[in-house]
């Protein structure tokens, strides 16, 4: 944005608002990206509280996912129904209807893992642009996996002279085309935000030779804002 600075954190556990930590990296350090335990230590040094961000519901969903994907973790033939076991993790004061709703939800998200990324781009009346992308990343990934969201130039890119772009969806695909940067560069050449986003998407499609079967297995959404 107008300051031409950037900051990010990645692989940061136990902190509720990582974008606020990223802002401190930007404003108070000489670095751009902190990751993993170092990022956590940095956050705690700046007063962020280390929290357990799991809920009984998210734990059940994870157990359900693990049982679906890892054969040795699936219930045995003579095991009680997974729902019985999972229900024991829930607050006993919940109604039966509420417990069933949570178990149905866990089953659904284990089959179709949810995401929750937010990309936010803003331009003020002076034409100054800023942006942030914040996420919990893909559900149940390998520890240490970093998506596109904290990568400046992929999940977010801002050039105060031109515009800004960001993304949600399968970060791996976006990193491979540096989507945020690509879109801003296309807008610099005169493309509309929509056409610039389509150009970045077409680069992702090209990486799979436009094979619709493989492309249908993931999604990427781009967001763009120009100075106007
Ligand atoms: N882009 C995020 C990532 O790859 C995930 C998401 O948007 O849901 O980590």
Distance CA 119, CA 171 (A): 13
The confidence score (pLDDT) of residue 140 equals 85
Tell me the CA–centroid distance for residue 150 and ligand 1, in Å.
Answer: 10
Q: What is the pLDDT along the chain (228 residues), one digit of tens a residue?
A: 999 999 999 999 999 999 999 999 999 999 999 999 999 999 999 999 999 998 889 989 988 898 888 777 777 778 777 788 788 888 889 999 999 999 999 999 988 887 789 999 999 999 999 999 999 998 888 889 999 999 999 999 999 999 999 999 999 999 999 999 999 999 999 999 999 999 999 999 999 999 999 999 999 999 999 999
Q: Considering only CA atoms, which residue is closest to atom 5 of ligand 1?
A: 137
Report pLDDT for 184. 98
199 lines ligand 1 (CB under 6 A): no
User: What is the DSSP secondary-structure string of 71-125?
Assistant: GGGSPPTTSPPHHHHHHTTS-TTS-HHHHHHHHHHHHHHHHS-----EEEEEE-T
- The verdict on whether 117 is a catalytic residue reads yes
Task: Name residue 134's beta-bridge partners.
Answer: 118
Decide whether any atom of ligand 1 lies within 6 Å of the 179 Cβ. Answer: no
Q: Is 168 in the pocket of ligand 1 (CB under 6 A)?
A: yes
CA distance 40 to 27: 17
Position 83 scores a pLDDT of 80
Q: What dihedral do alpha carbons 160, 165, 171, 176 form, nearest 10°?
A: -70
Mutate to test the pocket of ligand 1, among 149, 151, 156 (most ligand atoms within 8 A of CB): 149
Question: Which pLDDT belongs to residue 79?
Answer: 79
Q: Is the CB of 150 under 6 A from ligand 1?
A: no
User: Tokens at residue 196, please?
Assistant: 């610039």
Single pTM value for the model: 0.89
Closest CA to 16 of 42, 45, 52, 46: 52
- Say how far apart CA 207 and CA 53 lie, in whole Å: 36
Q: Which ligand 1 atom sits nearest the alpha carbon of residue 172?
A: 4
Taking each continuous run of H as one helix and of E as one strand, the counts in the chain are 9, 7
Residue 82, pLDDT score:
78
Classify 14 as helix, strand or coil.
Answer: coil
For tokens 């284990």, the residue is: 110
Say how many C-beta atoms besides its own lie within 10 A of residue 177's C-beta: 22
Mutual angle of helices 18-28 and 36-45, in 10-degree steps: 80
pLDDT at 112: 86
CA distance 222 to 24: 26
Q: What is the DSSP letter of 48?
A: P
């Amino acid at each position: 944005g107008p300051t031409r600075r950037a900051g990010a954190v990645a692989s940061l556990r136990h902190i509720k608002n990582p974008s606020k930590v990223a802002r401190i990296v930007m404003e108070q350090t000489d670095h751009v990206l902190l990751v993993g335990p170092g990022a956590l230590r940095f956050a705690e040094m700046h007063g962020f509280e280390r929290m357990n961000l799991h809920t009984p519901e998210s734990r059940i969903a994870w157990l359900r996912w693990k049982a679906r994907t890892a054969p040795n973790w699936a219930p045995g033939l003579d095991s009680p129904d997974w729902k019985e076991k999972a229900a024991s993790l829930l607050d006993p004061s919940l109604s039966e209807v509420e417990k069933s709703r949570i178990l149905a939800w866990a089953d659904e998200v284990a089959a179709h893992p949810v995401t929750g990324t937010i990309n936010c781009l803003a331009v003020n009346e002076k034409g100054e642009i800023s942006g942030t992308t914040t996420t919990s990343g893909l559900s149940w990934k390998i520890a240490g996996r970093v998506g596109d969201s904290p990568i400046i130039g992929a999940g977010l890119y801002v050039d105060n002279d031109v515009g800004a772009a960001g993304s949600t969806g399968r970060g791996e695909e976006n990193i491979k085309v540096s989507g945020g940067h690509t879109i801003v560069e296309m807008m610099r050449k005169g493309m509309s935000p929509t056409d610039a986003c389509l150009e970045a998407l077409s680069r992702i499609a090209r990486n799979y030779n436009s094979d619709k079967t493989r492309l249908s297995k993931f999604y990427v959404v781009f967001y763009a804002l120009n100075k106007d």
